[in-house]
Amino acid sequence: MTIDSHIPFTLTDWSLVHTERRDGEKGFALWKVQHFGNIRVRMVEYSPGYVADHWCDKGHIVFCVNGEMTTELKDGRKFVLKKGMTYQVGDSSDSHRSSTETGVTLFIVD
């Protein structure tokens, strides 16, 4: 990811950002999205019982704000992300999908 040098200093009040609902295989996700040049920044909440409906090949930096989720890689490995933890994955590096039993809030940059 190349940071666009033309992005001015900006504050985001996430409570004012429009929420998009996206259904998963089970449960749903609530997305708040901001774009800064070629960078997408999101606050995402997965409902309890959420299971992603697709394998993702997009690169991300994911910070767990609250809750816990499991991310499964297509090769079968599974990782648990808990409050205060991050994971990083590059574009087309490791196909992954996420689920949560209890619900989770994430801050994602991609």
Which residues does 95 contact at the CB level (< 8 Å), separation at least 6? 55, 56, 57, 73, 74
What does the pLDDT profile of the chain (110 residues) look like in tens digits?
A: 455 568 889 999 999 999 999 999 999 999 999 999 889 999 999 999 999 999 999 999 999 999 999 999 999 999 999 999 999 999 988 999 999 999 999 999 99
Q: How far is CA 100 from CA 11, 12, 61, in A?
A: 30, 27, 18
Q: Catalogue all structural domains in the chain, each as residue range(s) with its CATH number.
A: 19-109 (2.60.120.10)
Q: What is the pTM of this model?
A: 0.90
